[in-house]
Amino acid sequence: GAVVSQHPSWVICKSGTSVKIECRSLDFQATTMFWYRQFPKQSLMLMATSNEGSKATYEQGVEKDKFLINHASLTLSTLTVTSAHPEDSSFYICSAETSLSYNEQFFGPGTRLTVL
Amino acid sequence: GDSVTQMEGPVTLSEEAFLTINCTYTATGYPSLFWYVQYPGEGLQLLLKATKADDKGSNKGFEATYRKETTSFHLEKGSVQVSDSAVYFCALLWASGSRLTFGEGTQLTVNP
């Protein structure tokens, strides 16, 4: 149980295009979803926290207009990287929380984004 | 603010060696503590956790004890295997819905 999927697992795009990454909780309803970014050989950096039906809360320094987060249902959150540039290339990981599991986040497998 | 500090890596061991990865935290109060493992090209998997002082988390031969006196949560395993090669992250969490604070990660390589 408590499986989180991400799609796509990797994506290559041209500079200036937009890319959408999906995060789904497959067998539970996620009260909260989190989006992280990870650079090579570095730790995870929290980008934003989202709750179903409300606006995401972004961390300081994360551009809201560039990284659009939509949490339309209790099982799906999407991250759209708008007008992507090479510096946006990174590993994006989502996690989800359920009210049934106290203080535990379940992580997706991550999405590797490469912007040419 | 809260922070988590892990021992610097990378760590390279031979199979069946004893493993310790140090983790200390700075926080006001007593958060929940976690160890996550990340295999190459994958997301994070929860390895073990402890939610209060003196709790011991254990899983797959790994153990860590929540020590409030030393604000530490060191990860140990008595005999590592090649399959344990991965990056290990120590993290703290205050409450559901709040952010995980991660350490820098420690790369472990186990050679046959």
> CA B29, B32, B38 angle in degrees (round to 5)?
135
Q: Do B93 and A103 touch (CB under 8 A)?
A: yes
Residue range B43-93, pLDDT digits in tens: 889 999 999 999 999 999 999 999 999 999 999 999 999 999 999 999 998
Residue of B nearest to A5 (CA): B43
Percentage helix, strand, coil, to 5, in chain A?
Answer: 5, 55, 45
Contacts of residue B37, defined as CB under 8 A and 6 or more positions apart, other chains included, come to B44, B45, B47, B86, B87, B88, B89
Confidence at residue A5, expressed as pLDDT on a 0 to 100 scale = 94
Confidence at residue B97, expressed as pLDDT on a 0 to 100 scale = 63
The answer to whether the beta carbons of residues B62 and B74 sit under 8 Å apart is: no
Rg of chain B, C-alpha, whole Å: 13
Residue A51 pLDDT class (50, 70, 90 cuts): confident
Strands (E), A28-66: 32-38, 44-51, 57-58
The average confidence (pLDDT) of chain B is 92
Confidence at residue B7, expressed as pLDDT on a 0 to 100 scale = 83
Q: Is the pLDDT of residue B26 over 80?
A: yes
Cross-chain CB nearest to A43 (options B49, B89, B96): B89
Q: Do A49 and B97 touch (CB under 8 A)?
A: yes
